[in-house]
Amino acid sequence: MSHPTSNVAPLSADSPASQRERFVSAFGWMLLARTFEDKIAALYRAGKIVGGVYLGRGQEAFSAALGMQLNQAQGDIFSGLIRDQAGRMAFGELLIDSARTYLGSVEGPMRGRDGNIHRGRPRQGMPAMISHLGAMVSVVNGMLIAKRFRGERDVVGGATIGDGGTSTGAFHEGLNQAAIEKLPLVIAVADNQFAYSTPTSQQYACADLADRAIGYGIRGYSIDGTDLETCLETFSEAIARARSGEGPQLVVGKLLRLAGHGEHDDARYIPADMREKPYGADCVPMAQHRILEENWMSEDEIEEQVRITQDRVEEAVAKAQSEPDPNPFRESWHALATKHLAEGTIAMD
Amino acid sequence: MSHPTSNVAPLSADSPASQRERFVSAFGWMLLARTFEDKIAALYRAGKIVGGVYLGRGQEAFSAALGMQLNQAQGDIFSGLIRDQAGRMAFGELLIDSARTYLGSVEGPMRGRDGNIHRGRPRQGMPAMISHLGAMVSVVNGMLIAKRFRGERDVVGGATIGDGGTSTGAFHEGLNQAAIEKLPLVIAVADNQFAYSTPTSQQYACADLADRAIGYGIRGYSIDGTDLETCLETFSEAIARARSGEGPQLVVGKLLRLAGHGEHDDARYIPADMREKPYGADCVPMAQHRILEENWMSEDEIEEQVRITQDRVEEAVAKAQSEPDPNPFRESWHALATKHLAEGTIAMD
Amino acid sequence: MAITYLDAIREAQARALEEDESVYIYGQDVAGFGGAFKATKGLAERFPGRVIDAPISEDAIVGSAIGAAIEGMRPIVEMQFADFSSIAFNQIVNQAATHFWRTGVSCPITIRLPSGGTEGSGPFHSQSLESIYAHYPGLIVMTPATVEDAYGMMLEAIRIDDPVIFCEHKLLYYHLKADALPKTILPVGKARIARAGRHATVVACSAMVHEALRAARELAEEGWEIEVVDLRSVKPIDTDTILASVARTGRLLAVGEGFPWGGMTSEIVSRVAAEGFHLLDAPPQRLNSKDTPIPYHPNLWRAHRPTWQSISAAARNLIRL
Amino acid sequence: MAITYLDAIREAQARALEEDESVYIYGQDVAGFGGAFKATKGLAERFPGRVIDAPISEDAIVGSAIGAAIEGMRPIVEMQFADFSSIAFNQIVNQAATHFWRTGVSCPITIRLPSGGTEGSGPFHSQSLESIYAHYPGLIVMTPATVEDAYGMMLEAIRIDDPVIFCEHKLLYYHLKADALPKTILPVGKARIARAGRHATVVACSAMVHEALRAARELAEEGWEIEVVDLRSVKPIDTDTILASVARTGRLLAVGEGFPWGGMTSEIVSRVAAEGFHLLDAPPQRLNSKDTPIPYHPNLWRAHRPTWQSISAAARNLIRL
Ligand SMILES: Cc1ncc(C[n+]2csc(CCOP(=O)(O)OP(=O)(O)O)c2C)c(N)n1
Ligand SMILES: Cc1ncc(C[n+]2csc(CCOP(=O)(O)OP(=O)(O)O)c2C)c(N)n1
Ligand SMILES: [Mg+2]
Ligand SMILES: [Mg+2]
């Protein structure tokens, strides 16, 4: 099966210097995400996190490559799901906001009302996912439609989903809507072989999810989602095409979820030999290896970056932990912006 | 764009005699459907039908070709929507049941509780559509799953939908589910250029809806839906493939809705020149022309058949009109099979 | 010039499009065709690019409206029939309704639901879903019963910063007429005394207000003065106005076109029972449609829903209690 | 051997699979993995081919179950969380619920909804949707509060010829234990007096029964005897048992974990007000969760839902009225 990309020259031809810079910078986000999530997982095991913890382990390259190459300041949108710690931060989510949401701090964007990966700052191009998979695609469409109405022509919206999420009706309706409206949407499908415990054979019957693209009349890409360079190249092209008015772009990355579905799940159902498959590689050491190989950073520099990253994470977590929990007596207990129409309680402060 | 059919020999190689028989028989169903619907439309204009009237005018060949080639006695299923008068009758729906449902007779399958095209006899392979487009696909899947559980291996389910219906999440979920379970499902998409007033350009952005097939890993066919022979050939093949275990088949027929969306709609939005396009032809006279050309029937024979068909229709309508309307005082006014758990009224008889 | 309920809805949308460039309309067949009921007729021509035909994708229609609203637009979504909002249910109750509370960013969308039964429209083109949506925190649910309210509340719905479910009754579209569009309206959230009385209070909304009024006229001939309260919005409910009416009459009948279990009528009756128990001279009563899907055949349909006849009977009963 | 509420649900499904070959289970991760909550653990191995993993397609999951049921199967559908049934909403309320009434062909499906709040589960993994589904004609809605009922009612749910929405509470899964599976159960449709009393009646279902019982124990120390009625099913509601209890106590408090507008508590209160007005010595009261989405943070969550503390306070209040 052939994909349109194969015979198309990438739109962005980077100089070696900027290639290095992009790679190293992406690696930085991956490292930050991995470090932060390791910390969150440790807190979870220690009983310090309430609710679920879902990690993006193994998907950092694919996620960061999209998030990083979108331009928040220019009005781009990044709509991440449960495994997009890397992409979210690369796009512009503050580390402290992630920490606060996991820890339920009242200072966080969700103020303890929602938790873990259910977070966002919609006014800054980061919609706050609801759990129902597929539902965010059309929301991003709408944000792009709003920008089109306002004449902001140069924006791109990135939205991510998993192999499982592609089975939802919402995903189909959203992607079709984007295609009809020719919206500048880049959909990143992380085909990580499982939806919870369910293998892809129970999720789709096509050879490659990128085969869906032709049925929507949009461009599809099928790539190795563990290889940072490939991810960077592909998303760079997809974003450029979307930005230049070519409509939605569907990027499918093959990779493996290197964790349980959540931290409560030991993922015994993942056959050991999957780790040996091409998609089973761990993108973080792979990227690090490449950096060393290319001499883009020295071992010492990397060690130093790891240390700094750990410090940043510890600091953010400590700060979030020191912030107040939400206080039920200071809650307004109503759900409307139009306060005088609320039937619930109204804030006392 | 190429479709898998093009280089595949049809599974059913008919003898000239059986080819003639099939064609003429299909024409009979088309004629019956057209005649019946003309009558219903006339009754509607005379104010004798309550609620909406939706016609299959222009789609009789495509619909009948599927319905007729399914085998009700063998356990096949036909799930028709609003433009499948021809397919429904060709499959086995009784003319009188159609008339009764339009006229609200209490003797009909829906007993006046539901009307017009919302009818069926699910125990006889004819599920009763709900209005929500797309929702019947997974219902047919379930019927096929039940048959598989019972070891009935040779059955096929046919389900129809329009171009507009393909935009629903339910259609996507249902088709994907069928593909995963490799169900013997034949989906007939009548791409009649409009969904109510909405042209296909606002419904999908791919070149051909049959392009969706590859994304589900199933076989797709794109055909002239106005040509009866083509429809018969294609559905014959699709049904045979489904029956032999090849999984779902997606057949897209190009045609034009030769009526308003419903009889209340004058369809002024349909550009006149569309009637001149290949898909704009009227399948009924086309099929009749072919029959005369091939000398399969004489003009007189056709005239005779038209007359008999009209008589049958008049008779069925007269019978349905003479049957009692539902009586609210004899209604049970509860919605449960488990009577003792009903909170509603229970029948007095 | 006579203005129908439907005209009022169209004119309100036109005015909103005129006055606020963040307003746009999205739905199936709303552009050139002007909508299945012609509620947007002519608007696509008057406001080019701002009335957009949607694919048959209710989930994505509402989802995209939410996204646009987050970005500051004020989309009006037309569902072809209220019944099809079941497809957009998740986006409405889980995305739109929770958005402000979760993120602090408001989500000003208006979802128009052509609601309620008409002859021959059957189980899937007749539903009254106000109670379903009112159950969820974060939504405002309007049920205008008059031409004036159809106009004024539609304008308000679009202006309000929260998601509004606008239940417009199909039976009122063409028959309900006023002489002119209103200059002012009662604020949203306030109920209206549609007819004053002293022997019993009938609380209703939408088309049922007119059945109740007709029943009240009927009972007036028998010497009973029925007070009819038009709820106007079922969320919020103006409990004060209802309690004040019950204080005057001592008797309550809540009438709803929805299904009987747990809807608007039970909410009204239980609020009055809890907050106005001492005001009641007789057990508060309810009248709803029957506990079956909505029948197609007019004989059945007329028996399924409350009508002025069954409201009269129930009110007579109540007065005798 | 201690049997948990979750074990009971699993054992009932195992027994149904054993006894009736038309039973099968369909849902996300229900096969090898045994379900997100392990309610189907081991069943795929014991009943090969009859416990099937589904794609993330709730609409098609329920739609196909309906189709199979029409053909005589008795599918059990597991939703991963009740909250995700919003995606299957249309199939449930418009296809399953209307099917018998429309066609005369029954639709025996059981939809298991892991329901209710737990610490940290937030707005989309905590919902109690019994009132939404009970609103629609054609559905039976069960809300078992005990291990015995979890078992017995699950068996009944599968046997019943109608679509059953089986609301199983996640908070009860692991903590609620019984010594053995029951040999007999109270028929579906009958409520249960979970604790006898004479000063007030508290009506509740599911997890709230346990909060109410704890409140009753608390109030017993103050000399007040609270009668606790466990509804068991919210559709149908056993109005007779409730009225008989109110006849004994003269006071009613309806407690529900759902959202406040128009749910189970309003249905109970309005039925008692309408049919048992003369039995009431004080205004009937309601206690629900608050009118916001369900909060993530435990501090907020505990204040959002009724608890034994708030039930005690409401009951004390009621007794004083
Ligand atoms: C509509 C819906 N159904 C069920 C779930 C429960 N659920 C949460 S994550 C998940 C698996 C998702 O798989 P996939 O889309 O492949 O993403 P991954 O977890 O592999 O990143 C499921 C079933 C959900 N969130 N939404
Ligand atoms: C989910 C849903 N939304 C809206 C409708 C209203 N509706 C009925 S038929 C129709 C157009 C259908 O178009 P298409 O699928 O192309 O079928 P056609 O009428 O052309 O045969 C619409 C929008 C519906 N039935 N279901
Ligand atoms: Mg996955
Ligand atoms: Mg069409």
The residues spanned by each domain of chain A are 5-341
- Smallest Cβ–Cβ distance between D264 and the set C86, C262, C277 belongs to C262
Q: What is the CATH number of domain C3-178?
A: 3.40.50.970
Q: Are C60 and A102 a contacting pair, CB within 8 Å?
A: no
Residues of chain A with pLDDT below 70 are: 1-14, 346-349
- Number of the ligand 1 atom closest to the C-alpha atom of A59: 21
Residue C192 β-bridge partners: C230
What are the strands, taking DSSP E only, across chain C?
Answer: 3-4, 23-27, 51-53, 74-78, 110-115, 140-142, 164-169, 177-178, 192-195, 200-204, 226-230, 233-235, 252-255, 285-287
B198 lines ligand 2 (CB under 6 A): no
Residue B12 has pLDDT above 60, yes or no: no
Q: What per-residue confidence (pLDDT) applies to A1? A: 34
Residue D244 has pLDDT above 80, yes or no: yes
For residue A201, the chain B residue with the least C-alpha distance is B180
**C51-53 and C23-27 strand pairing:** parallel
| pLDDT bucket at B347, cuts 50 / 70 / 90 | low
Quick one: DSSP state of residue B300? H
Query: What mean pLDDT comes out for the span B272-300?
Result: 97
- For an interface test with A, the pick among B206, B218, B249 (most A C-beta atoms closer than 10 Å) comes out as B206
Q: Which residues line ligand 1 (CB under 6 A)?
A: A 82-83, 131-133, 162-165, 168, 190, 192, 194-196, 257, 261; D 28, 56, 58, 80, 84, 87
Token code pair at residue C265:
């009528």
ipTM: 0.97
Q: What per-residue confidence (pLDDT) applies to A153? A: 87
Q: What per-residue confidence (pLDDT) applies to A345? A: 76
C80 lines ligand 2 (CB under 6 A): yes
Residue nearest to atom 21 of ligand 2 (CA): B162
Q: Are the Cβ atoms of B170 and D90 closer than 8 angstroms?
A: yes
- Number of the ligand 1 atom closest to the C-alpha atom of A192: 20
- Number of the ligand 2 atom closest to the C-alpha atom of B170: 1
B131 lines ligand 2 (CB under 6 A): yes
To the nearest whole percent, how much of chain D has pLDDT over 70?
A: 100
Q: What per-residue confidence (pLDDT) applies to D150? A: 98
B132 lines ligand 2 (CB under 6 A): yes
For residue B305, the one-letter residue type is: Q
Q: Are the Cβ atoms of C59 and A149 closer than 8 angstroms?
A: no
Q: Are the Cβ atoms of B50 and C299 closer than 8 angstroms?
A: no
pLDDT in tens, B47-83: 999 999 999 999 999 999 999 999 999 999 999 999 9
The H or E element containing residue D309 is helix D308-320
Q: Are the Cβ atoms of C273 and D273 closer than 8 angstroms?
A: yes
Give the whole-angstrom CA distance, residue B286 versus residue B259: 17
Q: What is chain B's mean pLDDT, rounded?
A: 94
| Largest Cα span, chain C | 59
What are the strands, taking DSSP E only, across C170-225?
Answer: 177-178, 192-195, 200-204
Q: Which CATH superfamily is domain B5-341 in?
A: Thiamin diphosphate (ThDP)-binding fold, Pyr/PP domains (3.40.50.970)
B259 lines ligand 2 (CB under 6 A): no
DSSP A239-292: HHHHHTT---EEEEEE----S-SSTT---TTS-GGGGGSGGGS-HHHHHHHHHH
Would you please indicate which residues of D are annotated as catalytic (active-site) residues? 125
Token code pair at residue A151:
């004449």
Q: How far apart are the first and last CA of chain C?
A: 46
Residue C175 has pLDDT above 70, yes or no: yes
pLDDT in tens, A95-149: 999 999 999 999 999 999 999 999 999 999 999 999 999 999 999 999 999 999 9
Q: Are the Cβ atoms of A333 and D54 closer than 8 angstroms?
A: no
Token code pair at residue C213:
């009024």
C57 lines ligand 2 (CB under 6 A): no
Backbone angles phi, psi at A129, to 5 degrees: -55, 140
Give the whole-angstrom CA distance, residue D294 versus residue B327: 46
For residue C285, the chain D residue with the least C-alpha distance is D274
Find chain D residues with C-beta within 8 A of A104's C-beta. Answer: 296-299
B80 lines ligand 2 (CB under 6 A): no
Q: What per-residue confidence (pLDDT) applies to A3? A: 43
> B129, B196, B258, B270: which to mutate for ligand 2, most atoms within 8 A of CB?
B196
Q: Are D295 and D288 a contacting pair, CB within 8 Å?
A: no
Interface chains of chain B (3 or more CB pairs under 8 Å): A, C, D
CA distances from B108 to B112, B179, D100 (A): 7, 35, 15
Give the whole-angstrom CA distance, residue D304 versus residue D306: 7
Domain boundaries, chain C: 3-178, 192-320
A233, HSE (Cβ side, Cα atoms, 13 Å): 17
Ligand 1 centre to CA of D260 (Å) is: 29
Q: Indicate the SS3 state at residue B261.
A: coil
- For an interface test with B, the pick among D71, D89, D136 (most B C-beta atoms closer than 10 Å) comes out as D71
Q: Are D218 and D313 a contacting pair, CB within 8 Å?
A: no
Give the whole-angstrom CA distance, residue A134 versus residue A160: 9
Residue nearest to atom 19 of ligand 2 (CA): B195
- Long-range Cβ contacts of C17-21 (<8 Å, 24+ apart): C17/C43, C17/C46, C17/C47, C17/C50, C17/C51, C18/C47, C20/C74, C20/C158
- Smallest Cβ–Cβ distance between C91 and the set A135, A147, A336 belongs to A135
Residue C26 has pLDDT above 50, yes or no: yes
Query: What mean pLDDT comes out for the span D72-77?
Result: 98
Q: What per-residue confidence (pLDDT) applies to B7? A: 35
Residue D181 has pLDDT above 50, yes or no: yes
Give the whole-angstrom CA distance, residue A86 versus residue A75: 19
Q: What per-residue confidence (pLDDT) applies to A16? A: 80
For residue D97, the chain C residue with the least C-alpha distance is C293
Find chain C residues with C-beta within 8 A of A120's C-beta. Answer: 103
Fold exhibited by the domain C192-320:
Rossmann fold (3.40.50)
Find chain D residues with C-beta within 8 A of C132's C-beta. Answer: 132, 135
CA distance B181 to chain D (A): 10
Ligand 1 centre to CA of A195 (Å) is: 6
CA distance A187 to chain C (A): 15
Query: What mean pLDDT comes out for the span B123-129?
Result: 98
